[in-house]
Structure 1
């Protein structure tokens, strides 16, 4: 099965630019109620995924940091706890299933490594459930 069928295109994905501030990241994630968001560089490439936990642990390690001060911190300064891997648009469902065990979503890139969207874990689980139901 072609994974493009499951792709949520970039235009519909909440992303953060690599040069965003910590405050922008916090506010965007709060507004959309997401716990993890992909980070995209200026060229449109996927850089990684920032999570609430990444930001929380970063802020905890800086006792003097106030919410107002988060607008002076670049998101690129926040260490990412996990290296969420992306897949190429030509990947197969086995690749998605494997990554979805440890990631909420799987970022998808094109042949130039430009971010083109995500496949949500829920879509992958639905695909697996449908396959199991058809076997029964």
Structure 2
């Protein structure tokens, strides 16, 4: 099965831009209760995923910073602990299952790297449960 059937489109996904500040990202993540969020550039290209840990480690490394300094620091300057790669929309669902083990969602891009949405771990699990139920009903 093609992964396109499980995608949550960009229009339904919350994301941040790499030219935003850490504070803007924190506020969005807090509002939606996210622990990770996709980062796009101004052209809509997926550049990575920001996690709460990335922000915390950055603040720890810069001990002289306080919360108000987060209004001046851009996301593109925040090192990310994990390099979460996006996957092409053409991939088969079986090929993204392993990626979903270590992250809540898998970013999906088109052939130009433009972000088009995500596939959530819960959608993958739902798909697998449906397959199991179908197999059990045939048995």
Q: TM-score range by the shorter chain?
A: over 0.9
The alignment yields a C-alpha RMSD, in angstroms, of 1.0
3-state secondary structure, aligned to 2:107: strand
- The offset of 1:84, in angstroms, is 0.9
Alignment of 1:1-136 (within 5 A): 1-136=1-136
Could you say which structure has the larger radius of gyration? 2
Query: What is the rounded CA distance, in whole Å, between the counterparts of 2:108 and 2:30 in structure 1?
Result: 24
Query: What is the rounded CA distance, in whole Å, between the counterparts of 1:62 and 1:112 in structure 2?
Result: 35
TM-score (norm 1): 0.95
In structure 2, runs of 5+ residues without a counterpart are: none
TM-score (norm 2): 0.93
Query: What is the rounded CA distance, in whole Å, between the counterparts of 1:2 and 1:83 in structure 2?
Result: 24
Q: Would the aligned equivalents of 1:85 and 1:99 in 2 still touch at CA under 8 Å?
A: no
- The offset of 1:134, in angstroms, is 2.2
Query: What is the rounded CA distance, in whole Å, between the counterparts of 1:80 and 1:104 in structure 2?
Result: 16
What is the aligned length?
A: 136
